[in-house]
Chain A
Amino acid sequence: MRARTNIILLAIVVLLVVAPVALRGRVTGSSQGRFIGSDTRAQEAVGEIAPSYAPWFRLPIAPPSPPAESALFALQAALGAGFLGYYLWARRGSKRSAGVPDDD
């Protein structure tokens, strides 16, 4: 029961991610090759509302390039996923050894 529900839920996630990529241009009219972050769009909106506003602070350190930034995002996801994987693996193992059946 749980396994089936989870598969359906994960399929929905995949669909939600794939659909925009598959439909791009047809629905949104966005001709660019990539999806612009909503935070960037918010920056543009600030520029329209308050054209004279200039960001007053900038960190001196920044990812050297867009690929480096993507790699750091991937690192963040990997750190979290690593811990989640460890949890799932360790708990499953300990349940098995304790003779407790999984409920899926």
Chain B
Amino acid sequence: MHIMEGFLPAAHAVGWTAASTPFVVVGLKSIAKKVKDEPESKMLLGVSGAFMFVLSALKLPSVTGSSSHPTGTGLGSIIFGPLAMAPVALVVLLFQALLLAHGGITTLGANVFSMGVVGPAVAYFTWRALRKVGAPLGVAVFSAAFIGDLVTYLVTSMQLAFAFPDPVSGFLGSAVKFIGVFAFTQIPIALAEGALTTVIFSYVRSYNRDELVRMGVLRAREVAA
């Protein structure tokens, strides 16, 4: 999913890095505060990071004949809020860029922006909106992870279209082309990500219910039963 090394012009590489940096800084602060307020959340941070590590390493085949990766950012977005995911995504993306030649250093800023900022934000707000209207936990978790995954790739498509507008049809034509590359391949993968996130969340919910209540993820009366 990541934009490959060298595949953004230098000005775009610098621009996206500048755009992502404040989110990483604010994200680190938000993580530090959560861990201080709730020491046991360190374990949950580890679980969220580990989940992202596993899912972003999976290369899943899709019905379109292409393959792609899930993002794994939904779980952490739900538990820690969207801000905390930028630094975690940075760690995962840096690992992949340096050791796996997947993504890149010059495209790190753009990839953090899609996977660590916009995807988690949309996942989080999907979760909150569905909880507000009373959707069951599982439905809210699944939808948040599914939509967060899709949006990550939509952002990637936009970033590429912005850097490489079609000579005839411009940004829009190019966006349609890149969305065509990513979106259909991504739908079944995002469904798989939604399902896996729901499964892991069900364990976190039963093993760390008190912490989740104190962190405001779950309401006290939901876990009382």
Shortest distance in angstroms between A27's beta carbon and chain B's nearest beta carbon?
7
Interface SS, B side: helix
Q: Which residues of B contact A58 (CB under 8 A)?
A: 5-6
Interface residues on chain A, size class: 35 or more
Having A48-B177, A56-B9, one finds 18 other A-B pairs with CB under 8 Å, namely: A20-B64, A20-B188, A24-B61, A27-B63, A29-B65, A43-B4, A45-B160, A49-B167, A56-B6, A57-B5, A59-B97, A61-B98, A69-B102, A80-B52, A80-B55, A83-B49, A91-B207, A95-B207
Cβ of B7 and Cβ of A87 under 8 Å apart? Answer: no
Confirm or deny: B53 has a beta carbon within 8 angstroms of a beta carbon on chain A: yes
Cβ of A36 and Cβ of B66 under 8 Å apart? Answer: yes
Q: When chains A and B are docked, how far (Å) is the Cα of A83 from the Cα of B57?
A: 14
Q: Which residues of B contact A102 (CB under 8 A)?
A: 206
Cβ of B66 and Cβ of A41 under 8 Å apart? Answer: yes
**Which residues of A are interface residues toward B (Cβ below 8 A)?**
2, 5-6, 9-10, 12-13, 16-17, 19-21, 23-24, 27-30, 35-39, 41-43, 45-46, 48-50, 53, 55-59, 61-63, 69, 72-74, 76-77, 79-84, 87-88, 91-92, 95, 102-104
* Stretch of B29-37, B178-186, B213-221 with 4 or more beta carbons under 8 angstroms from chain A: B178-186
| Closest CB pairs A-B (n = 5) | A55-B6, A80-B53, A28-B65, A30-B65, A80-B54
Shortest distance in angstroms between B15's beta carbon and chain A's nearest beta carbon?
15
Cβ of B101 and Cβ of A63 under 8 Å apart? Answer: yes
Cβ of A42 and Cβ of B3 under 8 Å apart? Answer: yes
Q: Which residues of A contact B57 (CB under 8 A)?
A: 73-74, 76-77, 80
Cβ of B63 and Cβ of A20 under 8 Å apart? Answer: yes
* 13 sampled A-B residue pairs with Cβ under 8 A: A6-B198, A6-B202, A16-B191, A38-B66, A39-B102, A42-B7, A59-B97, A73-B59, A76-B56, A83-B50, A84-B50, A91-B207, A95-B207
Q: When chains A and B are docked, how far (Å) is the Cα of A50 from the Cα of B105?
A: 22
Interface residues on chain B, size class: 35 or more
Cβ of A17 and Cβ of B60 under 8 Å apart? Answer: yes
Neighbour of A55 across the interface among B4, B50, B195, CB < 8 A? B4
Q: When chains A and B are docked, how far (Å) is the Cα of A58 from the Cα of B106?
A: 9
